[in-house]
Amino acid sequence: MGELEESFPEASKNKGPNWKGQSRALKMCHWCTKKQEPGVKPFQACSRCKQVIYCSKECQVKSWPFHKAPCKMAAEARKATANNPELTQQVANFKKWHAHHVELLKQAAVCALDLGNTPSNADNHVVCIGFDEKPDASALPAEERYMPADGFTLTLDEAKEMLTQRGGTSAVQLLDAGRPNHEFMKKKGGLGIMTLLLLAHGTCDITTIVLPSAKTAKLMQEANDWGDGWLECMAFVLARGPM
């Protein structure tokens, strides 16, 4: 388990930008989701992957069984791009972008898999979405840089086959390692964890979102069901402005 280290200032011991996961980008504890308050000691980042932050050592210890596999993969991916500063920056930009659109991605996943009506789809499917960077991305805020280009759902077996063809053996292992986390969140009353395969800059960023309960998923679709046009609806929301 990596030690905790100061998550700020921005520069880390590694050259190049940090790759921030959802918790670090949104400044909340990766385990308990407590928000970091202004003017107090900042939460500390996992020293191994540097992508997540914790409000305490206790939260890191509780999180470790679920964070261990993605932590290892994130550290290896960051090391693999160390000699490619352009790609390193692109990945950092993309991670920061999708960390700011968790609720939008959740709505897309619920509708794409029709979880309000078929909640069992959460147990054996993933959602894959490809993104293009806007031509004027460098002049835009972080949360406005990308637009969806294509998207589809896959069974877990199909996702593993696709990742294997891309040479992602460790990525396949990550899917398997995420199952205990999925079951853990189901026991807490939700539909579990949804794995998202987010494609941009020739890379596949594997991230997860916590799904709502079956009741909440149904309410989400009753209020705003994107149906088969979920990708187009997602693009419309992004074009209109941050969700």
pLDDT digits (tens, 9 = 90+) for 111-138: 999 999 999 999 999 999 999 999 999 9
pLDDT digits (tens, 9 = 90+) for 7-62: 433 334 445 677 888 888 888 999 998 999 988 889 999 988 888 999 999 999 99
pLDDT of residue 242: 52
- Grade residue 200 by pLDDT with cuts at 50, 70 and 90: very high
Select the more confidently predicted residue: 168 or 74. Answer: 74
pLDDT of residue 11: 37
pLDDT digits (tens, 9 = 90+) for 140-197: 999 999 999 999 999 999 999 999 888 767 788 888 888 999 999 999 999 999 999 9
pLDDT of residue 2: 56
Q: How many CB atoms lie within 10 A of CB 216?
A: 16
Residues in the chain: 243
pLDDT of residue 78: 81
How large is the average pLDDT for residues 83-112?
A: 94
Which of these ranges, 2-16, 68-82, 131-145, 200-214, has the smallest mean pLDDT? Answer: 2-16
pTM: predicted TM-score of the whole model, two decimal places: 0.85
pLDDT reading at 218 higher than 90: yes
Select the more confidently predicted residue: 104 or 170. Answer: 104
pLDDT of residue 32: 92
DSSP state letters, 130-189? EEEE-TTGGGS-GGGSEEEEEEEEEEHHHHHHHHHHTT-HHHHHHHHHTHHHHHHHHHTT
